[in-house]
Amino acid sequence: LLEKRPDWSFDPEKAEEYLARRFGTATLKGFGFASQAPELAPAAILLEYLDDTAKAKSPHIRALLPYDASKFLALDEATRRNLELLRNLSTGSDKDSLVQVLDRTRTAGGYRRLRAWILQPLKDKAEIEARLDSVEHLYRNQLLLQEIRTRLASVLDTERLAARLAMDKAHAKDILALRDSLRASLSVLKVRGAESLPPYLGSAPSPEAALACEEAVARIGATIADEPSILLTEGNLIRSGVDADLDALRGLKENATKVLEAYLEDEKRASGIQNLRIRYNKIIGYYLEVSKGKIEAVPSHFIRRQSLVTGERYTTDRLADLESEINGATEKIIEIERRLFLAHRESLKEFLGAIEEMAQALARMDGIAGFAQAAMEGGFCRPVIEEEPRLAIRQGRHPVVEACLPSGSFVPNDLDLGGSAPSFALVTGPNMAGKSTVLRQTALICLMAHMGSFVPAQEARIGLVDKIFCRVGAQDNLAKGESTFLVEMHETAHILNTATPRSLVVMDEVGRGTGTLDGVSIAWAVSEYLLDRIACRCLFATHYHELTSLNHEGLKNLSMAVLENEGDIVFLKKLQ
């Protein structure tokens, strides 16, 4: 669904004025944006759209953060799709994707953080090492890891609950859920051993924020009832002891039965009708019921309401007054509780900053704990991150394919690219021999290392990468007039125009979308360009055996091993 906006909506000057007014600043330079920066117009439109759609303001969005692409390893859309980072290629779901295999998070915020880490791998060695240090700390302290994960399981989606609070959409049960989530979050920070966590993992909220969260927990617990209604028109929102008028009205309502019983005894004595009863229904309210045999004894101040076969129903001025008091008390209780709840919800907004800080810290901790758990379950190792552009992997495995196979059945492979070894590997072999698996597992191991995760290998030395390109498979885009061959050429041209010596390029079957002679020519030319002009680390899989005659010091020929045994072909899935 595409929503069109008029041209003037994208005016950078008006957008800057709107954003400065929204965030209460004279300029946006404090957020890292120059005057009339191109990012400001879409930011303003997004916030306006959010407010229009939600029919509420969003005070929990308190700042703009510039996105610096230079801090992250670049992944284009084709690479994200071909490596099946968030969705598989067959059904488009997250089943059999990298995020599903790595997801050991216990909270919604942790899962969102994991997705962000997958799509935005780090490029700075110090930041990667800091994240790896945190993963290793929990990996080597299993009791601490399990205790943290156990407590994290009680943490709810604090960010979403805070957003509902900020936008005046939180009902009483949301407020209690926020209290429970903050209480669980505070317990995670107090787990034994938390005081010795590495800086990245232990970057808990500031002491001021933690104290503010504790105060919010106490304030909610002292105000909101244990089993509140989600509606403002039913009462049962506020605890006893919060408001004297509310307690008095509740006392009146709770004592209504005793008051009615006392009045009934008075009428029995005055009238002598011992079987007199007070009843209630929604049509006529409270009434006095007299059987047929006692009609003659009915006092003059009884007012007939209904006649039945078995008797008569009456009311009195005193009964009507009591009913009015009881019903009035209920209405007043609902109104007072509504007023108190709205005031309480508004007062909690002062803690939004601390709540957000707490949620971010717990999401980061959950993501790290998830990496440590995945490393333990998958038998992953800590990669060595190097400045030198090399890629040395021993007994590397494809994390997703391995997870789908019986334990121990995946065939691992070694690979050594760059450094003192050639940086370009030409991989040949028949269909179903495992070429694509080796190519993609190499890219995924490299990506996981830059995420700060352990990797599925026995040993891995990963030289820093600035971009990963993965060009595999045959796909068309007929809606845009692009054939299979044209899509392939667009993606190939994009790689050749944007790859750098620091990049990792994975290409599978380049040139297969056209005739054999043209295909060989394209594959040969692309290989030479990558070798001579770009000189990056590259795995190039092909069926064109003619390419094995390429003679270059930066190239080495690899193939997938095949065994022929008494006429049967066995794919060994081994790179040789």
Q: How far apart are CA 444 and CA 11, in angstroms?
A: 41
CB atoms within 10 A of CB 68: 8
Residue 478: the pLDDT is 67
Measured CA to CA, the distance from residue 505 to residue 409 in angstroms comes to: 28
pLDDT at 307: 85
Average pLDDT per consecutive 10 residues, the chain (576 residues; last block may be shorter): 85 90 89 88 91 83 86 94 93 93 97 97 95 95 94 96 93 96 94 77 82 96 94 89 90 78 86 85 84 84 85 87 79 92 95 94 95 97 96 97 93 94 94 93 98 97 96 71 83 95 94 86 95 96 92 94 88 94
Residues 391/462, Cβ–Cβ less than 8 Å: yes
Q: From 544, 535, 475, 506, select the one nearest 398 (Cα to Cα).
A: 506
Angle between helices 256-271 and 317-347 (to 10 degrees): 180
pLDDT computed for residue 321 by the predictor? 81
The whole-angstrom separation of Cα 559 and Cα 576 is 5
Q: Note the helical H segments in 379-472.
A: 399-404, 435-451
Contact 477, 487 (CB under 8 A): yes
- pLDDT at residue number 161: 96
Name the strand (E) or helix (H) holding 461: strand 459-463
pLDDT of residue 479: 66
How high is the pLDDT of residue 515?
84
Q: What is the pLDDT of residue 213?
A: 96
- Confirm if 129 and 454 have CB atoms less than 8 A apart: no
Identify the pLDDT of residue 328.
77
Residue 515, C-beta contacts closer than 8 angstroms, at least 6 positions apart: none
Q: What pLDDT shows up at residue 3?
A: 82
